[in-house]
Amino acid sequence: MPGSLEGKVAIVTGGGWNVGRAIACRFAREGAAVVIAGRTRARLDDTLELILEEGGEAIAHDCDVTVLADAEKLATEAVRTFGSVDVLAAIAGGGGGYEAVDVIDPAWWEHVVRLNLVGTFHSVRAVLPTMRAKNAGSILTCAGGGAFFPLVGVEATAYASAKAGLCRFTDQLAVELHEAGIRVNCLQPELTWSPDLLAEVEEEERRTGEPHPERANNHPPEDAAELAVWLASDESAPLTGRSVSVNDTWWRDPAQVAAIAQSFHAYTLRRVDADGRVPR
């Protein structure tokens, strides 16, 4: 049976690790030709090997999305190799800078914002000419902790600011590209421990004999990959300008999807009124 991305060409930034790797592999299983992009060649090669071993079609491309020229070369390579770009999953990003505002090195604060927010802007800018030329495309951005509510007990203004900005970037870009036939949605992977962090947690659990307090909230990266396929494929059309979490269930119900697609309410950075309701 053809996959839901059969015949599509997809770029996945941050594709060498964790959520990005899971998305790249799942895109390939769904029939897409995948361009895996990231800064660490060894990780990219590992992802590439996983895809090729399963009979998928992919290439790996070294890319630092904080550098616009790198992002432009990535888009050019995708078109040169596979003829087009139909999907961009802008997953590259990361945390860091977990220090108080009056302590953190300003350069590090700016780096976290550049990696998450500016890197996504570069990636989107690079693929837009190809998508505009055919009046079609699907762009996925990636939300994260602190985008919607403060992270209690963590000093994370850089990461929270970057991810909140990404949500507004998604809102605004979706409106601007609506007439161009290009959809823009935001994926919320929720808590997804990397393999390295998961190993540390498991070691702690063996030492204490108790499950980690966040164990029940952790998602395997495959959860994000499943949602990413849906958002990238025609199955989610005409949905645009939405932030969808792996914890949501409505996207599995076509009736609810149709109702939400017809609403102007976007599930990103919504304020809450005095009664605790989200204004529509």
Residue 272 lies in a domain: no
Number of domains in the chain: 1
Phi, psi of 7 (to 5 degrees): 85, 0
187-226 pLDDT tens trace = 999 988 888 888 888 899 899 998 888 888 889 999 999 9
Q: Which domain holds residue 66?
A: 9-261
Residue 104 lies in a domain: yes
Quick check: 247 pLDDT over 80?
yes
Residue 243 lies in a domain: yes
Q: What's the pLDDT at 280?
A: 44
Q: What's the pLDDT at 59?
A: 98
116-174 pLDDT tens trace = 999 999 999 999 999 999 999 999 999 988 888 788 888 999 999 999 999 999 999 99
112 CB contacts (<8 Å, ≥6 apart)?
94, 95, 96, 97, 158, 159, 162
Residue 266 lies in a domain: no
- Which residue shows structure tokens 């959809």? 183
Percent of the chain clearing pLDDT 70 (strictly above): 93
Q: Look up the CATH number of the domain holding residue 217.
A: 3.40.50.720
Q: What's the pLDDT at 277?
A: 54
Residue 280 lies in a domain: no
**Active-site residue numbers?**
159
Q: Distance of CA 45 to CAs 48, 61, 256, Å?
A: 5, 9, 40
Give the pair of three-digit tokens for residue 129. Answer: 């000419």
Bridge partners (DSSP) listed for residue 243? 186
Q: Distance of CA 190 to CAs 36, 73, 84, 224, Å?
A: 22, 30, 31, 8
Give the predicted TM-score (pTM) of the model: 0.92
CA distance 85 to 71: 13
Q: Distance of CA 228 to CAs 57, 122, 179, 201, 243, Å?
A: 18, 20, 23, 26, 12
Instruction: Report which DSSP code applies to 114.
Output: I
Residue 277 lies in a domain: no
